[in-house]
Structure formats: structure tokens, C-alpha cells
Chain A
Amino acid sequence: MKPTLPLTARAALLSFILFGATVLVWQLAIESSTGTAPNMDPELAALLGPQAKGQSAFPAPMAIFDELVRHVTDPFYDAGPNDKGIGIQLAYSIGRVALGFGAAALVAIPFGFVIGMSPLFYKALDPFFQLLKPISPLAWMPLALYTIKDSNSSAIFVIFICSLWPMLINTAFGVGAVRREYLNVAKTLELGPFRTAWKVILPAAAPTIVTGMRISIGIAWLVIVAAEMLVGGTGIGYFVWNEWNNLSITNVIAAILFIGFIGMVLDQLMGRVQAAVAYAD
């Protein structure tokens, strides 16, 4: 049989089948794990819930779906420090990422520009970048807590640090790699340093710079979850840890799905920017 559907439609169909199969296997695995109830103290049994009957505490797909619906329909409720809607928690995390990432962009892009323009700076600073780049951003956390003395600002600082390197290195590289002939055109047109930077170097290096920004925002979203687990209080990372302490695996899984979704949206947004500054050579 020849395939008659377009590729996108066939891919969508396959995605749907894979999703359905995964959910089905998951559901069957949960249903089959009905063991015999061990003889135990009724109070302990009450505490353990389904596990006392030999069942898994791992939720079935439908339970997670119900939980997702509950979160989506009421995302912004606030019932005290340990019980806030997932919308509020995600907003805290996105806010921290936006602040840390924004501050990093404000530092990395102009600074990267200068480094890229000067082969001397590029060579002199490269060893520092190579040393600082592989450090897990969370390793900076104690230092940040000690110096800033504020957990929220420390989380933002950690995001700043982890967003900084990809943008800085990509900007410096992109600016340094602008083709000689474009610079020669700028020279023969007597453009002057500022117009050359604005009209020639920035648009020429923009695709590389935005690629750095896309990498940065991806890393920032990975790191914010871990940072919020450490600093606590608010944010999706704290939410995950809090639900683990509550032994609510359903909520942990729901949160994981939300984290993935927001990460995807952030990446797609940067992808749009990337497409806007791209040019065919």
C-alpha cells in the first residue's frame, strides 16, 4: 500500500499511537499489581494507603489526568505557604528565569561584543571562560547565599551564572567570525565604529548570538528546578520537592509534565527569534 497521507499527518498519527500504547501499558501495569494484603496493624495500613494492600502507590494515567485537569482549571489559588496553585508556582519560576536570564543577556551581549572585536581580549579571557563554563551553577549557591544573604536573589544569581556563559561565548565567537568582506564594505563606506557595530556586525552575528540565548534559556530552565529545591519557599522546583515530601506521586508527575511544557514553550519562543534574525548566505 502506498502512503497517501502527507508526512506530517502520518507523523501525528504515529505520535498518537505511541502515546496511546504507553498509557495503555502503564494502566495495565498498575491494574496487575494487586497483591495480597499482608497482615498488619490497621493504623499502619491506614497510613500506607494502597501499599498496605500490596498495591503500588504509583498513580494510574487517569489519576494524573484528573490532577492535571484540577491544576489547569484552578491554577492560581493560594491556600497558604505550602498550598499554592501550580500557576503561581510556575510564575515564580518563570519570573526568576526571566530576571536571571535578562541580567545575563545585558552583561553577556555587550561584553561578548567587546571580546569578539578584540583578538587580545579573546585570547586573554578564553582560559577563564573554559574554567568557569563547566562549573555546575548550583556550586555557586552557597557562595551566593553567603554574600547576598537572600535565598530568592541567590536563586536568580544562579540562573544568571548559568545563562551567562553560552551567551558570552557565542556572542564573542559570532562577532569575531564576521566575514572580512562585510567589514571591508563597512570600511570603504566609512561607516564609523558605531554604525559598523549596529548595521554590520550585530546583524551578521545575530544568528550565533541568538543560538547562545536559546542554549542559555534551556539551561536556565533546567537549573531553576534544582535551585528552587534548595532555596525552597516558592517555585515549581519547591512544588516538586514539597509534593515528594507529601508522597503525592501524582502531583510530582503532573509537575514534571508542566515543567516540560513550559521548557518547550520557552525554547519555541527563542526558536521564533532565531528564525527572525536568520539569513541565507
Chain B
Amino acid sequence: MRNPLISVENLAKRFPEPSGKGELTVFDDIWFTIEEGEFVCIIGHSGCGKSTILNALAGLDEASSGVIIIDGQAISGPSLDRAVIFQGHALMPWMSALENIRLAVTSRFPEWSKAQVQDQCEKYLRMVHLDGAHDKKPAQLSGGMKQRVGIARALAIEPQILLMDEPFSALDALTRGSLQDELMGICKSTKQTTFMITHDVDEALLLADKILLMTNGPNARVAEIVVNTLPENRSRDSLHKHEQYYPLRNHLIEFLVTRSRELASEAEGALDGRQTKVVRLDETKPETVTNSEPAPLRAVNE
């Protein structure tokens, strides 16, 4: 069996209680894998630790226990192989759009000539349709344009993995829609491996190949993995016409509204992170996957 590109194994995050007594477990027993070229979304309520998982994948935050293995290596810190698109655009306000991207490109390809760097920056600004905004400072750009620059900056370093923390949550619905379309086009055409946090069920159904559902925190778990059975060539306009759309959507909404809470209050051990249920709504029986036994060399560092 081929190893997945990313394997998250037994990840947990605990904080000391403010009172000083005991620990607060944000999430525990998180296991999932992401294949190369796969687009994975994670959905859950605030406080379940989605952002912490993403930051751990980015190398910006350390989990209390567990490992993240990428390409056969346990990660230990940030890397240019993993680009992050932040919730706020996180552009440097004193740099123009082009300079923001150039900072990333020169870090990724230090051996490149000035002309090569310039070409790369312009190529990605064109890709997000910002040809005319090279010299504009972030303050002169609209919210959607800022996030486009953020996307261009992340993609211009040609990362192995793209990590996105609710990238469109601060945008209005129209802008969000057009950015989703563009992102989908780019990710599909480049087979970009992507992990994304979202609150938006439709966004997840449009973009994701599989959707991780998290129970409410504290003590959050991945309750199930929903396989997106909508056709590959789906688009925002025709999404709702597909017969699988409403069953999937209802399943996700129902999870967010009731099951995420119910599952969280169930007795511990009701969910086994190693045996996360995989849900395919186009089949009658849900299957379960067993995450591969960690090999002795990959001992979980607890």
C-alpha cells in the first residue's frame, strides 16, 4: 500500500488549566491521512482546535503529543514546502502586492535571478487576476483583492501542501464565490494537495474531496470522514442540482447542529481515532478504515 503524503497520528493538544490544577484537553486521538493531490476540508465548531491542527501542520504550533508525518518524515517546524493562507490576509502592509509575493519567492528560490523572480511574481499575480495591482499597498486593495494576493503569495512558492485557515470567511458572499471558483480551478489544474478549515458547508462540498467532521471541544475528536461523492467536474452553479447534494448537505448540517454536540458528550472511548468512520452517502453501508499501525520507527512521541 502506498503511503499517504500526510499522516496525522494520535495528535493531541492540552493546555494547563488557568487555575493551575490539571489540564484542559482541546483535542485528542486525532488520526487522519491526506493523499497527494487531495483536497481535504475540516469542519467543526469554534473551540474544537481546528486552527491548532492547521498550525501544527504548518509547524507554527506544537501539539502536546502525536506526530505529523509528511513524505515519510516527522515534521518539526515550519517549511517552505507548506504554504499557509491565513484567515486575515497577513500581508505586510508596508510592501506592495508584488513585494509581498517577492519576499516569498526569493525565500523559496534564493538562487533565482531578479528577472526569474519577477516573472514568477507576475505569473501568480496574473493567475489571481491582479495584473494591474502590482504596486498597490494592501491598504489600497479591497478585502477580496488582499486575499487574492495572499493566495498568490502562497502558490508562488509552489508548495507541496497548501494550508488554509478559513481563507474566505472575512469576505462578502459574491467575492467569496468568485474566489472559491478560482481556487478550485487552480487546485484542480495543479493537483495541489490542500488542507482547509471552513465553516461553510457549501464551500466544503464545492472544494473538498473529503470532509473531516470534528466534535465540539474540549476533548474534540474527528467523528467521521465524509467522502464527497459529487462529480469531479462540479461547479458552483450546478452543485445544488446534483442528487447527492442535498443528502450530503443535510448530513453535514445535521452533524454541525446536533451530532457534533451529542458525540462530544458521549462517554469517552465511544469514538476510536484509529478507526474513524468513513461515510459515503452513495453506498448503503458505511465502512471504517483502520489507520496503518505505526511502524516501530514512527513511535509516537508522547
Using CB atoms and an 8 Å cutoff, list the residues of chain A in contact with chain B.
Answer: 181-182, 184-185, 187-191, 195, 199-200, 203-204, 206, 277, 279-281
Kindly list the 3 A-B residue pairs having the minimum CB-CB distance in the complex, ordered from nearest.
Answer: A280-B139, A279-B94, A181-B90
Q: Is the CB of B103 within 8 A of A281?
A: no
Q: Are B93 and A187 in contact (CB under 8 A)?
A: no
| Contact A281:B139 (CB < 8 A) given known A187-B78, A188-B60 | yes
Given the interface contacts A280-B139, A281-B139, does A181 sit within 8 Å of B93 by beta carbon? no
Interface centre among A189, A195, A206, A281, by most chain B C-beta atoms within 10 angstroms, is A189
Q: Which residues of B contact A190 (CB under 8 A)?
A: 78-80, 107
Known: A190-B80, A199-B103, A203-B94. 6 other contacts (CB 8 A): A188-B59, A188-B60, A189-B104, A189-B108, A203-B95, A204-B94
Minimal Cβ-Cβ distance residue in B for A191: B107
A–B Cβ pairs within 8 angstroms, 18 of them:
A181-B86, A184-B58, A184-B86, A184-B90, A185-B84, A185-B92, A187-B60, A188-B79, A188-B80, A188-B82, A189-B104, A190-B78, A191-B107, A195-B107, A199-B103, A203-B94, A280-B137, A281-B139
Chain B contributes a number of interface residues (CB within 8 A of A) equal to: 24
- Interchain CB contact under 8 A, A185 and B107: no
Partner of A189, one of B86, B88, B93, B107: B107
Question: Complex: how many Å from CA A11 to CA B83?
Answer: 54
Q: Which of B120-160 contact A (CB under 8 A)?
A: 137, 139, 157
Contact with A along B56-83 (1 / 0, CB 8 A): 0011100000000000000001111011
- A189 to nearest B CB, angstroms? 4
Report B22-65 residues with CB < 8 Å from chain A CB: 58-60
A188 touches B137 (CB 8 A): no
A82 to B59, CA, bound (A): 69
Q: How far is the CA of A243 from the CA of B249 in the complex (A)?
A: 88
Closest to B83 in A: A188
The residues of B that contact A188 with a CB separation of less than 8 Å are: 58-60, 78-80, 82-84
Inter-subunit contact B93/A280 (CB<8 Å)? yes
A98 to B163, CA, bound (A): 50
